């Protein structure tokens, strides 16, 4: 039983790490694309708004 719990914990942490890496890569690509047509200040504002919207959606999902 302990081995199963340990395996599940390790699998869960690996999934979280992998999704974090994917999210960072997507964020980096989005910023690069944004910078091709907008200023750094505009892209930072868009990124901030996106982060706030994602946090709000996550909080709403968690509350349900």
Domain of residue 7 covers: 2-63
Q: Which of 2-6, 8-12, 38-42, 47-51 has the lowest mean pLDDT?
A: 8-12
pTM above 0.75, yes or no: no
4 compared with 44, residue with greater pLDDT: 44
In this structure, which long-range contacts are made by residues 54-58, counting pairs with CB atoms below 8 Å and at least 24 apart in sequence?
Answer: none
For range 4-21, the mean pLDDT: 65
Mean pLDDT of the chain: 81
In this structure, the number of other CB atoms found within 10 A of the CB of residue 27 comes to 13
CA atoms of 20 and 17, how far apart (whole Å): 5
Number of domains the chain is built from: 1
């Amino acid at each position: 039983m302990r081995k199963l719990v340990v395996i599940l914990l390790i699998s869960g942490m690996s999934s979280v790490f992998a999704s974090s890496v994917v999210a960072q890569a997507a964020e980096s690509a989005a910023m690069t694309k944004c910078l091709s047509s907008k200023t750094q200040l505009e892209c930072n504002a868009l990124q901030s708004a996106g982060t706030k919207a994602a946090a709000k959606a996550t909080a709403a999902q968690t509350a349900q």
